[in-house]
């Protein structure tokens, strides 16, 4: 009995540790991203730098043998992962643009359609027909989104909402592609995260140039005369460098957190932690960036969270075995599958 109690305590401690680890990393990621994006005109280069730092940390951890799986780089595997990586680059780019144009407290609302899009994508691609209760949960989430965008008196950026909706749609497709891509790396979530970060950095480099951010990047780093004449530019460079170091490290940690969450937490725990993160992000946005939390915006966030929690509860109930001798075939999924992207070097993220 004492051994069983010790094992239960160990399991509870592991779950608490992983959830706490993910919450701190994810919240810090969103706030640090918003901090940098408020002062920079190069959101794509910022994303590239984040990915590059995550890749460096992956390589350092691998050389020190701190990772459970040895990192590899196989051309054939890379070819098979191209669709997933392209979706990841586009999704992360649009997510960064969303956070740039909307308040941190409104970010969850702007990307609130991830769940309905994911259910629709699963139906179209995987032919997984949702039950009436699943459809009801999606309707609740969609209602919450429209409350925040159209029924709240606070002025919001329509461009930011557009980026949020688009990134939500891309994330939903990305979550389906990830499940198929795991087979390419023999089911290793860590290897998949490594390939995704490394390949995303390679793919994003030319996009930064094509998007016209090259001159702004050169000006930020090498515009010495302007830096001397305008101290605020020097402050922006310091913010960029500091924020990149923080968010790049957090992106790497969130990759590890995603790996751990698959192993030790349940879907219900995933959604509860997501709900806590969403509420905490709103309050942090109000405190750090003086965002306005109106009654309409608070209602919108609450309705989206209610629909998401209801979806998770229904999914859990539907996955239970019908007979006592049956074995549940419920497939655990990382938080990003429901929120903002799976296995991100990033959030990475802003589930």
For the segment 63-89, what is each residue's pLDDT rounded down to a tens digit?
Answer: 998 888 889 889 999 999 999 999 999
Does the pLDDT value for residue 206 go beyond 90?
yes
Predicted local confidence at residue 208, as pLDDT: 94
Residue 348 maps to a domain: no
Q: Helix 189-210 crosses helix 43-63 at what angle (to 10 degrees)?
A: 150
Say if CB 351 and CB 335 are below 8 A apart: yes
Neighbour-count burial for 133-155, b at 16+ CB within 10 Å, e otherwise = ebbebbebbbbbbebbbeebeee
Residue 161 confidence (pLDDT): 94
The answer to the question of residue 264 being in a domain is yes
Q: How far apart are CA 282 and CA 105, in angstroms?
A: 4
CA 70/CA 63 separation, integer angstroms: 9
Q: Which among 138, 90, 134, 145 has a CA at the least distance from the CA of 112?
A: 145
Would residue 339 count as lying in a domain?
no
The reply to whether 280 falls in a domain is yes
Whether 225 maps to a domain, the answer reads: no
Q: What is the mean pLDDT of residues 303-332?
A: 70
Mean pLDDT highest for which of 21-35, 231-245, 321-335? 21-35
- How many folded domains does the chain comprise? 1
- Residue bearing the bigger pLDDT, 202 or 228: 202
CA–CA dist 210, 204 (Å, integer):
10
| Structure confidence at residue 72 (pLDDT) | 87
Range of the domain at 104: 12-220+238-319
Instruction: Provide φ and ψ at 89, rounded to 5°.
Output: -65, -45
Is residue 18, in this structure, part of any structural domain at all?
yes
DSSP codes of every residue in 141-181: HHHHHHIIIIISSS---HHHHHHHHHHHHHHHHHHHHHHHH
Q: What is the pLDDT of residue 262?
A: 52
* 222 or 232, greater pLDDT: 222
CA dihedral of residues 312, 22, 17, 4 (deg, nearest 10)? 30
In a domain, 347, yes or no: no
The model carries a pTM of 0.77
Provide the H-helix boundaries in the chain: 2-37, 43-63, 75-101, 107-110, 114-125, 132-146, 158-181, 189-210, 214-222, 224-229, 231-264, 267-289, 295-319, 335-338
CB 345 within 8 A of CB 196: yes
Q: Measured between alpha carbons, how far is 280 from 264 in angstroms, rounded to an integer?
A: 23
105-119, 185-199, 271-285: range with lowest mean pLDDT: 271-285
For residue 113, is it within any domain?
A: yes
Give the model confidence (pLDDT) of 260-297 as tens digits.
565 555 555 555 566 566 667 767 777 777 777 788 88
Confidence of residue 7 (pLDDT cuts 50, 70, 90): very low
pLDDT computed for residue 12 by the predictor? 66
pLDDT at 50 > cutoff 60: yes
- What is residue 350's predicted lDDT score, i.e. its pLDDT? 45
Cβ 22 vs Cβ 346: under 8 Å? no
Question: Torsion over CA of 72, 246, 243 and 239, rounded to 10 degrees?
Answer: -130
């Amino acid at each position: 009995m004492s051994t069983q109690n010790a094992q239960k305590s160990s399991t509870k401690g592991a779950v608490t540790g992983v959830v706490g680890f993910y919450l701190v990393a994810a919240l810090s990621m969103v706030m640090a991203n918003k901090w940098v994006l408020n002062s920079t005109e190069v959101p794509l280069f910022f994303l590239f730098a984040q990915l590059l730092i995550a890749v460096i940390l992956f390589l350092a951890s691998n050389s020190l043998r701190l990772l459970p799986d040895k990192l590899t780089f196989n051309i054939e595997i890379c070819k098979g992962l191209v669709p997933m990586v392209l979706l990841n680059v586009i999704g992360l780019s649009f997510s960064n643009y969303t956070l740039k144009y909307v308040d941190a407290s409104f970010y969850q609302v702007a990307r609130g359609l991830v769940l309905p899009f994911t259910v629709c994508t699963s139906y179209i691609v995987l032919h997984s027909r949702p039950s009436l209760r699943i459809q009801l949960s999606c309707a609740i989430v969609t209602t919450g989104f429209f409350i925040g965008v159209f029924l709240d008196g606070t002025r919001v950026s329509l461009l930011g909402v557009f980026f949020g909706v688009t990134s939500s749609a891309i994330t939903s497709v990305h979550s389906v592609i990830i499940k198929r891509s795991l087979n390419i790396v023999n089911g290793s979530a860590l290897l998949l995260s490594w390939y995704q970060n490394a390949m995303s950095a390679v793919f994003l480099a030319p996009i930064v140039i094509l998007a016209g951010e090259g001159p702004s990047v050169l000006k930020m780093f090498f515009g010495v005369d302007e830096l001397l004449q305008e101290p605020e530019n020097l402050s922006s460079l310091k913010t960029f460098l500091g924020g990149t170091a923080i968010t790049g490290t957090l992106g790497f940690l969130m990759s590890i957190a995603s790996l751990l969450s698959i192993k030790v937490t349940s879907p219900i725990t995933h959604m509860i932690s997501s709900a806590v993160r969403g509420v905490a992000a709103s309050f942090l946005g109000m405190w750090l960036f003086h965002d306005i939390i109106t009654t309409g915006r608070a209602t919108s966030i609450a309705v989206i969270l209610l629909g998401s929690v209801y979806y998770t509860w229904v999914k859990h109930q539907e996955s239970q075995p019908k007979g006592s001798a049956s074995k549940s075939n419920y497939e655990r999924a990382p938080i990003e599958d429901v929120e903002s992207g799976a296995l991100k070097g990033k959030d990475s993220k802003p589930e």
